[in-house]
Structure 1
């Protein structure tokens, strides 16, 4: 097994480039950190091209066998690869799974949500609710960004996530599409749970693009009984997903 002790090693430099979305899009790969995320990737049959490990003796043999290449690294190299202050000492370069927008019954549509914590939480909730697909509008945070991955707790590997034109997807979707807004909307409680639906959530500051709201079946809101101006989009989306799922 090869040891890597320099951050200038070509494999480390290439892995480190994957912190940038442009490089992830170009290569089709992503860098993930930590035992939990890497185990979830392996369980989901994600291709693990490379594993970089500080302490190999602490890693399960099946995980080592799942990787095409395994390298032992030191703390200095781990600090370069890590997206956190305290490196976990285990990193993987994976191939991002590719999905086609086939027939799906229950879909989460996301219009330009920027905060990685919000996106990761919504992916995690969609996974917990049992939705079939997540569709992102261009301009949404990258689901393979480090903070999104951590917030999703590995759910990014459990549910198909694609980026495509939301208006076109909505027009072709064979089911009701529910937008989320405050103006001209009805309480989400007025809609019954159903087998086929799409839920559309929007940008934290601007909400859903008005052009998209004009193509929905109905627009929903969550009543505010206290003095808060609004609900966080991840909280609101989670409430509505569970309600529509029934």
Structure 2
């Protein structure tokens, strides 16, 4: 009989535990949640706030992120230092080169020497190379520039995703593409709390996007640019539910032990 009395007492304790966990579903901020979740909630409550950053700029919350200032109509990002370019001159194979943009933003090509590449679009650079070769060396040259490796075309995906990290992106990548690169949301990731950070001048802008609505076709799938940071925050209700499942597992194991004869 002692074993059954223990089970009754244990069952009462578990009931109290379940009630407590159920109430925490509305208020829980589990230790597994990002430490900045409170500040993110604050960001969600404001649509045009501005917070100073240690770097001297400001963090500004916006409803929708504008394209980076140095893109042409938001369609093409400029070349950056350390980008690797393949320069081909039509029918003049000995002038073809694979070059890397140096720290000063320049490249070096046969005959015409060094020229600035960083900050320019691929089309701008092609035209300038054609002009330089056409001025002294070639008649109506045709130049093609291909970006083999782009430092500027990388994004960071962090937070509650399957595998966070730094990923290369194409020139027309979207937010859905960025989430897919990181393997999607993990068990506690909140599709409604996806924040994208973008540097605009000396300031950093951040916008909250609801991926559930984007997937349902209710919201626009925003363009993602090189240099963006995508952070997925945790769902408090999912954290509380996981805690409840853990507690249920512990309770089930303990109950099995309690009914063993002789205990």
TM-score (norm 2): 0.22
Larger Rg: 2
Greater relative contact order, per chain length (Cα 8 Å cut-off, separation 6+): 2
User: Which of the two has greater helix per residue?
Assistant: 1
